[in-house]
Amino acid sequence: MKDLLKQKRLRHALILLFTLIIFTLPFLITNNYYLSVLVIIGIHTIVVVGLCLLMGYAGQISLGHAAFYGLGAYTSGILTSTYNVSPWLALLAGAVGTGIIAYLIGIPIFRLKEHYLALATLGFGLIIHVILMEEVELTGGPSGLSKGIPYLSIGSLVLNNDFKFYFLVWILALLALILANNVVHSRIGRALRSIHGSEFAAQSLGVDTGRHKLQVFALSAVYASVAGSLYAHYITFISPSPFGLMTSIQFVVMAVVGGLASIWGPIFGVSVITIMAESLKEFMPLLIPQAGGEYEIVVYGIILVVIMIFMPDGLTATLVKAYEGWRYRKERANETP
């Protein structure tokens, strides 16, 4: 009982420390480009936190999360620009709608497992992408929606620059993290982890594994949708290209790099991959003059393979283990002078 409380306090202390760091950063960084990278990291973190609940805790894979991200972005974009709905209402509508869609498509596809499930989610992602491309009247087609997506505002405060938007995104990202943390340490979270541990045993204890998988799938879709809405109001222009297969894969890579079954993994994984992707954009053309965006996927592939082979628990867990090993050796060295 005591250990349990101690663990809980440590968790809370870490979250508090991290919050402090996050909210002092924008005052130290004056370069707008760096700030915008941090905003994107925040948005992606929200998606990946949800994806980690699904992948790390429930042990189910999704190669279609960019579709939910896109559904959120387009719901917000279309409702606010074409129908003049309030942005916050549109964000909520996107979240609820995407959650329901995820739940409904989850009913048939969660009859599948592993590779088959991965393929089914990938197929769903492709379908949504095609719809975004082809429903020109609704979505603007390949050229997207460029007119009339407003900035978000809180009361009279319009979040029209990186500095202001940064705070909103990171408040929501931290909220996403805290809520996910709540789920992990709850009855539902334990049920999810038990599915990962042994689905057979979980069922024998009365855990309705199918239902819980569906619920967490829907929850992770809601996370992605909220992030998509934020993206739409941040960039104020949306086109289908950021919501394709490449982005879905990127999300999975971020989740795996950070480490699946850790609540800190997402922030870490997203930061590493986003910063790397941004640097690649700069350095790739210097190395290979004709290189375009398609070279990124090669790098993601290599990273994924290397991580899977050498750090199957992800970067976060590997670093924690390395630190514990270092501390252990140091203590040993102190004992035997």
Partner 1 sequence: MKLLEVTQLTKTFGGVHAVSDVSFSVSKGEIVAVIGPNGAGKTTLFNLMTGVYPPTQGNIYFNDTDITCLPTHKVASLGIARTFQNLQVFNNMTVLENVMVGRHIRSRTGLLGAVFPLWPVQVEESKIVESSLEKLALTGLADKAMEQANSLPYGQQKMLEIARAIALEPELLLLDEPAAGLNSSETRDLVDIIYTLRDQGITIILVEHDMETVMEITDRLVVLNFGNKLAEGTPYEIQNNQEVITAYLGEEGL
Residue 220's identity, in one-letter code, is: S
- Which residues are 145's β-sheet partners? 238
Find the part of the chain contacting partner 1 (CB under 8 A) among 103-111, 151-159, 212-220, 289-297. Answer: 212-220
Q: Closest distance between partner 1 and the C-beta of residue 29, in Å?
A: 32
Phi and psi (nearest 5°) for 331?
A: -60, -40
Listed residue (277, 256, 276, 278) closest to 266, CA to CA: 256
Q: Among 197, 285, 312, 325, which residue sits at the site for partner 1 (rule: CB under 8 A)?
A: 197
Binding of residue 215 to partner 1 (CB under 8 A): yes
Binding mask 123-162 for partner 1 (x = CB under 8 A): ----------------------------------------
62: helix, strand or coil: coil
Phi and psi (nearest 5°) for 153?
A: -140, 150
Tell me which DSSP letter residue 289 carries: T
Q: Closest distance between partner 1 and the C-beta of residue 316, in Å?
A: 15
With CB under 8 A, what is the number of residues at the site for partner 1?
A: 31
Find the part of the chain contacting partner 1 (CB under 8 A) among 115-123, 128-136, 183-191, 224-232. Answer: 183-191
Q: Are 199 and 209 in contact (CB under 8 A)?
A: yes
Binding of residue 325 to partner 1 (CB under 8 A): no
Closest CB to partner 1 among 105 and 261?
A: 261
Closest CB to partner 1 among 223 and 243?
A: 223
161: helix, strand or coil: coil
Q: Are 44 and 227 in contact (CB under 8 A)?
A: yes
154: helix, strand or coil: strand
Residues forming contacts to partner 1 in the complex (CB under 8 A) are 1, 3-4, 179, 182-183, 186-191, 193-194, 196-198, 200-209, 215-216, 219, 261
